[in-house]
Structure 1
């Protein structure tokens, strides 16, 4: 009995190429690519996804085992695609940080910072709260499955070996950043209105009663009313964010 193992080198090379795309994406994904997630966990998830995706798209790779340069170029191509996909999903989460920063400034809490567990660095308290809540909702509603679907359909958008159109990538990045900033401002719109009305009221009060220490009266009231507004609009805010995230993921899944 003779076993043909001539296909093993090509299969191993294909596995590494698929792993390069998936691994680069996993390292940037919201919830999975965070700084506090152990590297072994990230590698395990990337390997598991590779084992799932490899049989589906193995035929898309044309491996030339005679040229190491071609393999290296193809691997760099796969890594760039993974970074583009992961960064697109990551940028969507930054909309909550933008909203949190605006809300904190309007409530007078711009100086209150804590360690952001998703970034491993200092961040505004309200922004960190919204980010953690957004991540929780993404997993609670199974919206992270759309990321895996986008990874699977990325082979029809960015076929292995085909040159990436820089204009398309730049357009995707530009739309992702602008949409994140726009959604962040829209989420914080009630607090912008509140900040304008409240500060105008304080200005009028200061003119009518110059002897009153407006600052010491205004800051506690601003925080109190701000948290009341946050409690009222939080459900709507997070629902809008989920719709935005799902819409971005569907843009990466053209076949669905």
Structure 2
């Protein structure tokens, strides 16, 4: 390496780091609130070092002597990283949708706790599903698919080209719709349970007006709901893993 090619190498590395840094700050698994910012930057720096030999051929040349092009390219890379990270974050929200729905159906909607994956208060069932999903991502090696998607994003969205805002908007809308769809599918057994159970309570209240239905129903609803949850949690997380894999495969080329 000589002094003449060092500036180009440095500029290309910074361009690579711009997309990965923005993506790592938002991506599930690395963008969680409990993870220190320095640790996220370290992960982004490591990924930049790993990806540089692979994607160096797709990076634009001659930016070291053109400040305007460099700034525009850096902004474009940051926007692409933010867009991909937000789409991945939306896919992760399936657990929040399903967990909140399940909690309201089995009578635990009032039980709130801090969700470490979202950095805010949420239903305790949703927090459990979110943490379980994070463990599942690494246990099932889904993070390997995420790394492959990041690498292929440089082929799908070449650095230096304008960010495809329209395409990202379409993918975001589709991802939001699918997140709600999968969230409802995961919680569907509990929706059926809630309808049947509450209908039965209504009939019981009419037949026996002197019975304190609320005090009888609450422990039964929570107990049966937790038993049903224990039997179905494996199936629910398997459906979530399939949804996450399908979403990440959009960024992997043929």
Shorter-chain TM-score tier: over 0.9
Once the two structures are superposed, residues 21-46 of structure 1 have per-residue CA deviations (whole angstroms, 9 ceiling, x without a partner) of 01111111111111110122111111
The answer as to 2:175 corresponding to 1:173 is: no
In 1, the alpha carbon distance for the partners of 2:185 and 2:157 equals 32
Q: Which residue of 2 aligns with 1:246?
A: 245
The total of aligned residue pairs comes to 253
Give how far 1:144 is off. Answer: 0.5
* Cα drift, residue 169 of structure 1: 0.9
Match of 1:226 in 2: 225
Contact 1:13/1:63, CA 8 A, preserved across alignment: no
Shift of 1:57: 1.6
Give the match's secondary structure for 2:121.
strand
Moved over 4 A (4+): none
Q: CA RMSD in A?
A: 1.1
Task: Note if 1:50 corresponds to 2:48.
Answer: yes
Match of 1:138 in 2: 137
> Residue 10 of structure 1: CA displacement?
1.4
Counterpart contact for 1:63–1:71, Cα < 8 Å = no
* Aligned mate of 1:59, from 47, 50, 57: 57
Q: Which residue of 2 aligns with 1:20?
A: 18
The answer on 1:108 being equivalent to 2:120 is no
TM-score by length of 1: 0.96
- Offset at residue 4 of structure 1 (A): 3.1
In 2, the alpha carbon distance for the partners of 1:165 and 1:57 equals 19
Q: Give the unaligned 5+ runs of structure 2.
A: none
For 2:98 and 2:204, how far apart are their aligned partners in 1?
A: 29
Structure 1 segment 1-256 matched on structure 2, within 5 A? 4-60=2-58, 61-255=60-254
Could you list the per-position Cα deviations for residues 106-145 of structure 1 after superposition, in whole angstroms to 9, with x for gaps in the alignment? 0111111111111222111000000000110110111111
- Which stretch shows the higher mean deviation, 52-61 or 227-236? 52-61
Aligned partners of 2:43, 2:117: CA distance in 1, in Å? 18
Contact in 2 for aligned 1:14/1:63 (Cα 8 Å): no
Shift of 1:85: 1.3
Deviation at 1:63, TM superposition (A): 3.2
Residues 73 and 161, structure 2, Cα contact 8 Å, conserved in 1: no
SS at match of 1:188: helix
